[in-house]
Structure formats: structure tokens, C-alpha cells
Amino acid sequence: MAAPLADRIRPQTLDDVVGQEHLLAPGMVLRRMVETGSIPNLIFYGPSGVGKTTVASIIAKKAGKKLVRLNGTTASTQDIRDAVAARDTIDGLGGVLLYLDEIQYLNKKQQQSLLECIEDGSVTLIASTTENPYFYVYGAVLSRSTVFEFKPVTPADTARAVRRAFEAAGEDGGYVLAEGVVEYIAQACGGDVRKAVNAVELLALAAGGQREITLEDAKQVAQKSAMRYDREGDEHYDLLSALQKSIRGSDENAALHYLARLLEAGDLLSPCRRLLVIASEDIGLAYPMAIAVTKACVDAAVQIGLPEAQIPLAEAVVLLATAPKSNASCMAIEEAMADVRAGKSGPPPRCLQNKHFDGADVKNPGQFYRYPHDYPNHYLRQQYLPDALRDRVYYRFGDNKTEQAAKAYREKLLREAAPEKGE
């Protein structure tokens, strides 16, 4: 059975690797490490299909070490021990390079089993992960390794790999490519070179005896392949973060883009929840109706479902992005929560407590609560915070029209208010 096309055309030198110029261009640190042949423990972090395994294989070949491959999804502790034991074999006399793919799936004990051998240098570790290593890799392993981040490959660089794949797949005569086929595949793969090469292989298989590859064929094979999305992974939270920050920055076009990516991946509930948060956190009292309108849009979206749900959610996104912004109430509750967690509290003033009698030890019995509705403007000065926080200010009026109007009203109340008892 023939090996997959992606394996048959896998680059054999760093110059053949597409993309990752920030790591592999002449003069870059990783490139210089490989050229010297002195390889430290490394962690490659980045999305799938961007060259992590390929670069690790090239490094192992360049370093003259025995390459042992394990995958964190299937590797056991015994597999790791066997890999380490390879250093005592004839093949391992030059050293062992352990390439551990998807290290984030190993538990803490399994990762700890690597420590002794990578500490004494008998085994060189190159681990890869699609998740943030600072969250998923055991700290002691991380501290003994250097992290390099691999990035999605640009369409222009991916196009080079696509052309190389068509040449390899059509080695018995070549293919006639319609205009735009290479560019479409390179764009649709979303920075995943392996996915682009797999699309080429599928097109070659589907072509049969025909040698022409049409743009329509490419669209059918590569449809939705640009969606790099994992609801439990970094990409999920990155898109939600980008959605919120775009709305906070009043860029409705960027916000619509990130909403579209979430919805195209079939994720309806996550943006619904995030939009409700945004309405209060970032728009807040600058436009108090934002939360009501957003809730109505979210309810409509959930009720009608995809794909039509995109319509009310787009309405909510544009409304929030173009609305005035205020985080005053959000910051106020965060400061109040910080005081509570720091133990800054105390009983409410006697006038606010829900009891109407005093013990014999109280020298000045009585609740002394004054009912604001009995006073002009339904307001008077009265202590509401505990004694320890009597003068604490959490909320500061925002500089938008709505909150400034509320501030002016508050100042009017203060000017005309009855004095606090004892003043």
C-alpha cells in the first residue's frame, strides 16, 4: 500500500520546509542550533500540519541521533521507558532523540518519567503540542526545554507545497490545473499544509484517467477545510477573545468576521454567552438597553437555530460594536469583590440591619433608619457601607452621555439633600 502523499513529499532539508521563516530562515536561532548539530531539549508549539514533525525529523537526521517517535494519545509509561532504554543499544550510541507528539495528553507522572534522562542529556527531547505548553506541559519538563512557536503557513507559502504535491501525484504524466486551483487550495486549508496536500491527493484519486483538475473539483474537496477549530482548545478561546476585543474596540467588521468563524464551525452557544457578557462588561451603562436587545437577539438565535441564527446575532454584534462604551460598573464590582476577598467588610450600619430591638448591652438603642421617600427628591445622606469602608468609592461615572446625565442628577441630589444625621 502506497504511503500517503504527504509522507512521500515530506521535506528532507530545512530549505524545503514551507513557512516558519521566523524559525528556519538563515541566521535564526533554531536554524543555527540545527546547523551546529548540538540540539537542546525543545518544545514545538503550534497548530497541526505546519511542519513540527517534519522539522523534528530533519533535526534528528542532522544530529546523527536515533529517532524514536511516540504519540501522547497512545503512549504508555512503558513506551517511554523503552524509548529511553534505546540509548543503551548499538543504534543509540550516538544518542537518542525522542520525538513526543501531542505531549499535552501525557499525565503528570508520565511527563515526570522523562526528567532524569533529559536532565543528564542521554536523551534529547523534542515534544510538540497544539495547546499552550505553559498550561499543559509539566513545569519541570518545561524549565529544561526551549519553546519555539510554529505559526499557520501563509497561502503564498502553502501554494509552493500544493504545486510540489501535484507534481508528485502526477508523476506519470502530470495534471492540467484550471486557473485558480492552486490558490484556492492554498487559501482554503487555513494554514495547514498537510490538509492542503491531502486535498491534492484526493483530487488526484478522483481524477482517475482524466488529467484535468477543475476549480469546482477543488472547491468540493477543500470545502470548510479552512476551519481550524476545537471547542476545547486554544482556538476556541482565541476566537471568543478576538470577538470581544473587536467589539470593545468598536470594530464591527472584525467582530462579524470572528462571529462568522464561530458559527461556520457550528458553535452557536459560545458566542451567545459571550455577547451577553460583552453587553454588560463593555457597553454597560453607556447604553443600558444593550443587554436587553442582546438578550432578545440571543433568545431568537437559540430558538431558530443555525443557519438563520446568524441574522439576529449579527444584529447584536453590530449594535454592541457601534454602541458607546463603558466598563464603569464592571470595574466597580471587581473592586468591591477585591475588598470582600481581602476581608474588608464588617456588619452593615445599625440603621440597615433587619432587626428592630437591641440587647441590654446597647447604650443607644434604636435603629435610626430614615426612609428616603419621606425626603425631598426621595434622597438624603445616610451611611450605607460598613464602618470600615464608610468612604470607599467603587463606581466612577463614565464619560458617556448617559452616565454623565446620571452624575449630574446625583450632584443635584447632594446639593439639595437633607444633611446626614450628626452633621
Q: Are residues 203 and 239 in the same domain?
A: no
Model confidence over 337-353: pLDDT tens digits?
998 888 888 888 877 77
- Does 232 score more than 80 pLDDT? no
Cβ 103 vs Cβ 136: under 8 Å: yes
Question: Is 12 a member of any domain?
Answer: no
pLDDT tens by residue, 83-137: 777 776 766 666 778 888 888 888 888 888 888 778 777 788 888 888 888 888 8
- Do 166 and 134 fall within a single domain? no
The tally of CA atoms less than 13 A away on the side-chain side of residue 303 is 7
Number of domains within the chain = 4
**Set of cell numbers at residue 379:** 434622597
**Which percentage of the chain shows pLDDT scores above 90?**
22
In DSSP terms, which residues pair with 67 in a beta bridge? 97
Q: Residue range 12-21: average pLDDT?
A: 86
> What is the per-residue pLDDT for 414?
87
- As a whole number of angstroms, the distance between CA 235 and CA 174 comes to 37
Which has the closest alpha carbon to 125: 88, 47, 70?
A: 70
- Averaged confidence pLDDT in the chain: 83
Measured in whole angstroms, the distance separating CA 148 from the mean position of its chain's CA atoms is 18
The pLDDT score that the predictor gives to residue 294 is 96
Q: Bigger pLDDT: 297 or 265?
A: 297
Do residues 198 and 244 both lie within one domain?
no
What is the DSSP code string of 92-142?
A: TTT-EEEEEETGGGS-HHHHHTTHHHHHHTSEEEEEEESS-HHHHS-HHHH
- Buried b / exposed e over 267-291, threshold 16 CB at 10 Å, is bbebbbebbbebbbbbbbbbbbebb
Four-residue CA torsion sign, 385, 388, 391, 395: negative
Q: Which domain holds residue 137?
A: 20-149
pLDDT (average), residues 307-324: 94
Q: Which of 149, 168, 202 lies at the terminal end of a domain, its last residue? A: 149
356 pLDDT band, cuts 50/70/90, is low
Q: Quickly count: other Cβ atoms within 10 Å of residue 110's Cβ.
A: 18
248 and 211, same structural domain? no
Which has the closest alpha carbon to 311: 297, 326, 321, 327? 297
Percent of the chain with pLDDT over 70: 90
Do 167 and 127 sit in the same domain of this protein?
no
- Residue-wise burial string across 56-68, b where 16 or more C-beta atoms lie within 10 A, e elsewhere: bbbbbebbebbbb
For residue 231, pLDDT over 60 is answered with no
Indicate whether 198 and 299 sit together in one domain. no
267 inside domain? yes
Task: Report yes or no on 7 lying in a domain.
Answer: no
Burial class (CB in 10 A: 0-12, 13-18, 19+), 43: buried
Q: What is the CA radius of gyration of the chain?
A: 31
Q: What is the pLDDT of residue 93?
A: 66
Peptide bond preceding 365 in cis form (omega within 30 of 0): no
What pLDDT is recorded for position 248?
94
Cα torsion 345, 351, 354, 359 to 10°: value is 100
How far apart, in whole angstroms, are the C-alpha atoms of residue 71 and residue 78?
A: 13
